[in-house]
Amino acid sequence: MNDRVTITVEDRIADVRLARPDKMNAIDPAMFEGIGAAIGALAGRTDVRCVVLSGEGRSFCAGLDMTSMQAGGSGTSRDRNDQGAILPQHVSWGWRNLPMPVIAAVHGVAFGGGFQIMSGADIRIAAPGTRFAIRETYWGLVPDMAGFPLWRSLVRDDVLRELTYTAREFGAEEALAYGFVTRIADDPHAAAMSLARDIAAKSPHAIRGAKRLCNMAHDADPRAMLQAETDEQVAVIGKPNMMEQVRANMEKRAAVFVD
């Protein structure tokens, strides 16, 4: 991990923050590396049941630091990982593929690469005044940080095309109507942490299985989905965490799970 991203774990929730507030968390080569390292550090942690992703300072993420990129190029590896992503794609796609749910708490701006990083979260909560943009064509670029495979399950095709072709800014209410944002909250980080506590109180094996099914739902054929549902249920039904959940519900107490 470098100084671009911080992780604090408490009560089985990882509070992950983009930490370049003086630049509105704009993405430079070090930010690419820091986010990739954060995803890698979380991937194997069984003690983390939910992740909250946010940005320090005035904004979630202003997108690429164009000055830094022009000075030294992307400075990032072009090797593809086992998910088929190069590092600039992994910093968005990797959140979707973590085993635990990820909630993005978004404020200020989420432009370009920042918008794509936000889109990798399972759930996205935005402050009322947040500004969004698929910004790449403004700079003569195309979105290439895993936005398209993430957006296809969120938003209508014609809406995506209009926003991509024009690079125009849009607000939180519009983002909510389109499907890019799950809900709006005055304090998105507090709302995300509250939701994370609710998720973390559920059986971790059931939640991770449900995320795997959600990740499959858009692309898998019905036969594969039917088999996957059965496989995930067999993996949890009658097991200690499932039985503990039943007992806790009947005894009206908090469940105590084995991770």
Query: Residue 76: its pLDDT value, please?
Result: 65
User: 94 and 148 in one domain?
Assistant: yes
Determine the structural domain holding residue 190 and report its residue range.
5-199
Task: Give domain status of residue 259, yes or no.
Answer: no
Residues 155 and 235 in one domain: no
Residue 33 lies in a domain: yes
Please give the distance of CA 152 from its chain centroid, rounded to a whole number.
Answer: 15
pLDDT of residue 158: 98
pLDDT number for residue 68: 74
Edge-to-edge strands, sheet with 170-171: 109-111, 131-133, 170-171
**How confident is the model at residue 73, as a pLDDT?**
53
Flag whether 142 is in a domain. Answer: yes
pTM: 0.95
Strand partners, 7: 16
Cβ-contact 18, 5 below 8 angstroms: yes
Q: Which residues of the chain have pLDDT under 50?
A: none
DSSP E strands in 36-193: the ranges are 50-55, 102-106, 109-111, 123-126, 131-133, 170-171, 183-184
Together in a domain, 231 and 195: no
Q: Look at residues 199, 215, 238 and tell me which one is the last residue of a structural domain.
A: 199
Q: Is 78 within a domain?
A: yes
- CA 202-204-208 angle, 5° bins: 115
Q: What's residue 216's pLDDT? A: 96
Q: What is the SS3 assignment for 103?
A: strand
Classify strands 131-133 and 183-184 as parallel, antiparallel or unpaired. Answer: unpaired
For tokens 């994370």, the residue is 196
Residue 141's CATH number: 3.90.226.10
Clarify whether residues 13 and 130 are in a common domain.
Answer: yes
Do 124 and 244 belong to one domain? no
